[in-house]
C-alpha cells in the first residue's frame, strides 16, 4: 500500500538504510524523527545522524526531540495526520500517547527473531551465544520492551566467520525486504499477527566495556565469538605488559597445543597462536595502543620479538 502516510523514526546507518528503502520503493514518507545531533570527531562538532542526512537529501521534515513524553510532542505527531509510524533503532522510548497516534499503529524493525533477544544489543548477543541463525522481526509496537505482536520475519544464517559488521549488513538487507513486504499488504499482516511467547524470550543487554576483556581461561570458541561480536563498537582486548592490545581477527586453531592460558604457543610470520582454557586461538589482526589496526605479519616485520614463543597475555583485568 503505497498511499499510506508514513512517518519514520530512526537514528544510525542501519535505520537510514530502511528509510532509503521506503523512499526507493515509492512509499509516501511525510516526516522523519531522529535523535538530536551529537558531537563527533576530534573537533567535537555537532553531526547529523545518518537518518537525518537521508531525510535532508530528500527534503523531508525532520524532528529531533530529546524526549517524546511531553504533550506537545504527541500533538505535533498528531498534526502530521499519519497512517503508520515505522521505528528502526530510534533510541527513544515511545510512550502510550505516541503509540496511539497513527491510524495503523507503530511498526518496529527488530534485528532478531523475537521473542529471542529482546533489547538493545540483539546482534552482539546472538554472536556471543553462538547462535546459528538470526533474522529480523516486523513487530506491532506496544508499551513493553520488544513485546508486541509479530507481523513478519526474515531469517539470516550466521556463519562461523561472521562478525558484528557482517551480521548487521545481512540483517539490514533482511529488514529492508521484510519491511517493504509487510507494508505491501499491511492490514493482512496485522490481521495474521502472532502473539509472542514470553517464556521463550531472553534479554539482549547492551554490552558493557568490561565484556571486551579477553579471559584466556575461557575456551577458544568463546573467545573467537567475543572478538567477532566486538568488532566496530566494543573491540576485544587483552593485556601485554599492562598495555591494552586489541584482537581484531582470529580463528579457532585446528591444531593441538599445550600451554598455559594466555601463552603464545606458536609464532609464525602471519599469525601467532594463544593457548586458551580449552583449545587455542590463532590471531591475524591486532591493534597496538595508539596505533591503527594492522596485521600480525606487518608487526613481525618490524618487531618480531613482540609476539614470540612463550610470551604471555594476562587473563585478569588490571585493578
pLDDT in tens, 186-227: 999 999 999 999 999 999 999 999 999 999 999 999 999 999
The string of pLDDT tens digits covering residues 112-169 is 999 999 999 999 999 999 999 999 999 999 999 999 999 999 999 999 999 999 999 9
Pairing of strands 106-110, 133-140: antiparallel
* All domains of the chain in start order, with CATH: 5-200 (3.40.50.170), 209-302 (3.10.25.10)
Nearest 10 degrees: Cα torsion 244, 249, 251, 255: -60
Burial per residue of 77-116, b for 16 or more beta-carbon CB atoms within 10 angstroms, e otherwise: beebebbbbbbbbbebebeebbbebbebbbbbbbbbbbbb
Q: Are 123 and 164 in contact (CB under 8 A)?
A: yes
- CA torsion sign for 254, 255, 256, 261 is negative
Each residue of 159-184: b (16+ CB within 10 Å) or e? eeebbbebbbebbbebbbebbbebbe
Q: Say whether 246 sits in a helix, a strand or coil.
A: strand
Confidence at 316, pLDDT banded by 50, 70, 90? confident
The mean pLDDT of 77-100, rounded to a whole number, is 97
DSSP label at residue 174: H
Burial class of residue 64 (count of CB atoms within 10 Å of its CB; 0-12, 13-18, 19+): middle
pLDDT digits over 169-178, tens only?
A: 999 999 999 9
Mean pLDDT of the chain: 95
d(CA 80, CA 103): 12
> What is the band of 319 on the pLDDT scale with cuts at 50, 70, 90?
low
Q: Give the pLDDT of residue 156.
A: 98
Amino acid at each position: 500500500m503505497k498511499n499510506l502516510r508514513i512517518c519514520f523514526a530512526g537514528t544510525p546507518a542501519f535505520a537510514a538504510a530502511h528509510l532509503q528503502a521506503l523512499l526507493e520503493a515509492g512509499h509516501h514518507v511525510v516526516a522523519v524523527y531522529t535523535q538530536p545531533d551529537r558531537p563527533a570527531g576530534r573537533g567535537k562538532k555537532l553531526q547529523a545522524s545518518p537518518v537525518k542526512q537521508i531525510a535532508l537529501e530528500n527534503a523531508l521534515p525532520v524532528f529531533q526531540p530529546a524526549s517524546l513524553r511531553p504533550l506537545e510532542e504527541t500533538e505535533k505527531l498528531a498534526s502530521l495526520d499519519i497512517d503508520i509510524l515505522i521505528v528502526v533503532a530510534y533510541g527513544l522510548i515511545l510512550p502510550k500517547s505516541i503509540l496511539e497516534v497513527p491510524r495503523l499503529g507503530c511498526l518496529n524493525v527488530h534485528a532478531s527473531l523475537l521473542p529471542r533477544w529482546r533489547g538493545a544489543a540483539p546482534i552482539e548477543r546472538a554472536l556471543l551465544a553462538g547462535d546459528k541463525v538470526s533474522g529480523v522481526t516486523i513487530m506491532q509496537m506496544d508499551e513493553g520492551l520488544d513485546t508486541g505482536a509479530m507481523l513478519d520475519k526474515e531469517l539470516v544464517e550466521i556463519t562461523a566467520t561472521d562478525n558484528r559488521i557482517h551480521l548487521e549488513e545481512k540483517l539490514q538487507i533482511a529488514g529492508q525486504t521484510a519491511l517493504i513486504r509487510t507494508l505491501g499488504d499491511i492490514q493482512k499482516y496485522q490481521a495474521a499477527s502472532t502473539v509472542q511467547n514470553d517464556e521463550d524470550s531472553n534479554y539482549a543487554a547492551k554490552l558493557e566495556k568490561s565484556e571486551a576483556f579477553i579471559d584466556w581461561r575461557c575456551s577458544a570458541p568463546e573467545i573467537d565469538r567475543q572478538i567477532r561480536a566486538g568488532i566496530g563498537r566494543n573491540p576485544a582486548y587483552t593485556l601485554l605488559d599492562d598495555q591494552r592490545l586489541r584482537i581484531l581477527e582470529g580463528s579457532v586453531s585446528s591444531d593441538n597445543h599445550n600451554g598455559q592460558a594466555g601463552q603464545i604457543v606458536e609464532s609464525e610470520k602471519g599469525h601467532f597462536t594463544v593457548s586458551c582454557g580449552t583449545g587455542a586461538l590463532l590471531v591475524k589482526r591486532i591493534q597496538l595502543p595508539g596505533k591503527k589496526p594492522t596485521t600480525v605479519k606487518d608487526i613481525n616485520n618490524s618487531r618480531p620479538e613482540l609476539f614470540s614463543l612463550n610470551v604471555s597475555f594476562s587473563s585478569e583485568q588490571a585493578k
